[in-house]
Every structure is written in structure tokens, then in C-alpha cells.
Amino acid sequence: MAERLDYSGFDQKVLGGKGLFLVDFYSDSCVPCKRMSPVLAELEEKYGDNLQVVKVNIAYETDLVEKYQVTAAPTLCLFKDGVEIERRTGVQKKADLEKIIEENK
């Protein structure tokens, strides 16, 4: 299950971590965000140690929202070795996310 991160946890885990991190900027009241949750869980299960999925609640982590200029939920950002390499906004197809993960493993 995706770990929910705050600002300090984000810096430590995502920016300071090695490998791929898929960050889900979401809101609890966002219907499209809820539609993405099972897709993200499937990706996390499929890729195991090759991908870590983490969540950032945009209602509580406004500093991260501002820092990464998140303007809509869901916003999915793919980080590799602490650097953002891809960003998608809105509901995404699982196959499209798999493609960008495969290209960056």
C-alpha cells in the first residue's frame, strides 16, 4: 500500500532515495483520485522493489503543492534518483503508466 508522505518524509524518501518513485498528489474528496488508487496499487504490486508508490495529500501538504506547482488532482509525478522525469495530470490508463515506468527502469 502506498505510503502517505509529508514534506520532510518526501525530501528524505523521494528526493534522497534511489530508484523510481511514483508520487500521487491527491485529494480525499477527488473522485478521479479514487479511480486511480486501484491502478496505483496494481502497479506497486507488479513492479515490487523496482517502483515505490507514495501519496501526497494536497489539502495538507501545501508547501509541496507549491514547490511542485501542482494545479490539479490527481497529479502523478515520476521521480528517478531524486529527479522528476515525468508528470501526468488526471486519470491515467494503466498501460500508459506502465510504458513510462518501463522506459525509465
β-pairing verdict for 51-57 and 75-80: unpaired
Q: Which residue has the cell 520532510?
A: 8
β-bridge mates for residue 24, sequence order: 55, 76
Q: Which residue has the cell 515520476?
A: 78
In the annotation, is 77 catalytic?
no
Q: What is the pLDDT of residues 45-104, one digit of tens each?
A: 999 999 999 999 999 999 999 999 999 999 999 999 999 999 999 999 999 999 999 999
Rounded CA gap, 77 and 24, in Å?
Answer: 7
Q: Taking the model in full, what pTM does it have?
A: 0.96
Which of the following is catalytic: 4, 7, 27, 30? 30
Rounded CA gap, 18 and 14, in Å?
Answer: 8
Which of the following is catalytic: 23, 33, 51, 70? 33
